[in-house]
Amino acid sequence: MEFSAQQIAGLLQGQIEGDSTVKISKLSKIEEGEPGSISFLANPKYTQYLYTTKASLVIVNKDLVLTAPINTTLIRVDSAETAFSKLLEMYNQVKLNKTGISKHAYISETATTGTDIYAGEFAVVSDNAKIGNNVKIYPQVFIGENVVIGDNTTLFAGVKIYSETVIGKDCIIHSGSVIGSDGFRFNPQNDNQKIPQIGNVIIEDNVEIGANCAIDRATLGSTILRKGVKFDNLVHIAHNVEIGENTYIAAHGVVAGSSKIGKNCMFSGQVGIVGHLEIADQTIITAQSGISKSITKKGEVYMGSPAFDAAKYRKAYIHFRNLDSIVKRIDQIEKQNKIAENS
């Protein structure tokens, strides 16, 4: 798809400086610009590349002052970073705006589908599933029986949605993620017999789940991701967990069974939460922390394993780093005391 500088300037409400007819068909970094591409300059650190870039069009701030000749057309806007983000969003919408149902897709006769859906090759929509309007079902997606999926939701290639799952509007689930698999529950008093998992997963509106995540169904009731939740890749949520609104969990995050996570929390990579805990709203947990007790006061920062208040952890860590010298000092004091006692 090709656009002129004039068309792009109109979309961004910017001012053209140079050739308004130049054609653009791709995006690029300013330092790696190629003819026919568009880039942007927001960070002063990269200003030098403006004078050498081969990009045909560059978005810059209105107040940028040129100090040498350039070989590219400029679009001046209030904020180059905001304008380029808007352009990326528009580009992504065009790129992902797929429609039509492949002849190799299977949609059950008892399933209900909305308008303008896309179903790629070897996608499966099982009995009694309900698919909303403008839903994108990429190749090799499996949607189980009685699943409900809201309008404008996208399931990328290879996503597996087990039966009874409910997914809201405007959600994105990336490739390889599995929603509704069995919770990890066995009875050690009965030869480790598997405990049936007959609940489901509920995902509310505007949730994004990264690639290769696993969200287990509840034993009874529901595992719930509230609206606005965002997961990085490789996140595991166990049975009967509830994640509060607008909470972010980075890669390798694990929440064990029946724990309740509050609203607006932020967990860095490799955070682990023990089962049956409650984590207060606005809690921040730093990378590789292990949470073994409930956090009841909202807005606090935790780190370490087992984790505790971050400020106390940093002070304790200073002493830990000096532990060897502290032990030597104690040994020396004890030797001096023994000498004094024997004299």
Residue 269 domain-assigned?
yes
Residue 340 domain-assigned?
no
Residue 343 domain-assigned?
no
pLDDT of residue 266: 98
Residue 151 domain-assigned?
yes
pTM above 0.75, yes or no: yes
Query: Are 115 and 222 in the same domain?
Result: yes
Query: Are 59 and 104 in the same domain?
Result: no
pLDDT for 49-62, tens place per residue?
Answer: 999 999 999 999 99
CATH number of the domain residue 202 falls in: 2.160.10.10
pLDDT of residue 289: 96
Query: Are 152 and 262 in the same domain?
Result: yes
Residue 148 domain-assigned?
yes
Query: Are 48 and 111 in the same domain?
Result: no
Query: Are 197 and 295 in the same domain?
Result: yes
Domain stop point among 54, 77, 95: 95
Query: Are 252 and 105 in the same domain?
Result: yes
Query: Are 266 and 194 in the same domain?
Result: yes
Residue 174 domain-assigned?
yes
Residue 245 domain-assigned?
yes
Query: Are 58 and 199 in the same domain?
Result: no
CATH number of the domain residue 48 falls in: 3.40.1390.10
Query: Into how many domains does the chain fold?
Result: 2
Taking the chain (343 residues) in runs of 10, the rounded mean pLDDT of each run is 91 94 94 95 95 96 95 96 91 85 97 97 98 98 98 98 98 98 90 91 98 97 98 98 98 98 98 97 97 96 85 80 85 86 78
Query: Are 127 and 276 in the same domain?
Result: yes
**273 pairs with which residues across the strands?**
255, 291
pLDDT of residue 187: 86
pLDDT of residue 181: 97
pLDDT of residue 313: 80
Catalytic residue check, 252 = no
pLDDT of residue 325: 86
pLDDT of residue 61: 96
Domain stop point among 95, 128, 147: 95
Give a three-class secondary structure readout of the chain: CCEEHHHHHHHHCCEEECCCCCEECEECCHHHCCCCEEEECCCHHHHHHHHCCCCCEEEEECCCCCCCCCCCEEEEECCHHHHHHHHHHHHHHHHCCCCEECCCCEECCCCEECCCCEECCCCEECCCCEECCCCEECCCCEECCCCEECCCCEECCCCEECCCCEECCCCEECCCCEEEECCCCEEHHHCCEECCCCCEEEECCCCEECCCCEEECCCCCEEEECCCCEECCCCEECCCCEECCCCEECCCCEECCCCEECCCCEECCCCEECCCCEECCCCEECCCCEECCCECCCCCEEEECCEEEHHHHHHHHHHHHCHHHHHHHHHHHHHHHHHHHHC
pLDDT for 139-197, tens place per residue?
Answer: 999 999 999 999 999 999 999 999 999 999 999 999 999 999 999 988 888 888 898 99
**Catalytic annotation, pick one of 239, 252, 276, 319:** 239
Residue 334 domain-assigned?
no
pLDDT of residue 1: 73
Query: Are 146 and 48 in the same domain?
Result: no
What residue numbers bound the domain in which 167 lies?
Answer: 100-311
Query: Are 91 and 110 in the same domain?
Result: no
Query: Are 91 and 123 in the same domain?
Result: no
